[in-house]
Amino acid sequence: MEKAEEVEEAERVEEAEEAEKVEKAEGAEKAKRAERAEKAEEAEEAEEAEGAEKAEGAEKAEEVEKAERVEKAKRAEKAEERGVAIRNSSVAKIPPLRSKCCGKAISNKEKS
């Protein structure tokens, strides 16, 4: 009888050890899942933050463009007041060269 009891006791110990291993594996798996979920959540938050930063950057760019347009309009008004026409390139148009003898415009061919 003692041998049968020893065998049963050994089987119980073996089953308990195996159950412990399974519990540890399940615990490790749960920990890994939790860690993955946390990382995914952090990544989501980072993406949301990046999206907000991009939106802020776009707003700032729009503000800068608007300021540039306003500044360009002010310069155009000032130039008009002074009698200088500013074109798209915002460079005053230079009149063509005139010859000294008769005041006619000199063409590009005659310049060279």
Say if residues 92 and 80 touch (Cβ distance below 8 Å): no
DSSP letter assigned to residue 88: T
List, for residues 49-86, the tens digit of each pLDDT value.
888 888 888 888 899 999 999 999 998 888 777 765 55
The amino acid present at 99, given as its one-letter code, is S
Nearest to 80 by CA among 68, 92, 89, 88: 92
99: pLDDT confidence band, cut at 50, 70 and 90?
low
107: pLDDT confidence band, cut at 50, 70 and 90?
low
Residues 104 and 94: their CA atoms lie apart, in Å, by 16
Q: Where are the domains of the chain?
A: 2-111
Residues 45 and 94: their CA atoms lie apart, in Å, by 57
For residue 98, pLDDT beyond 80: no
Residue with tokens 């390139």: 89
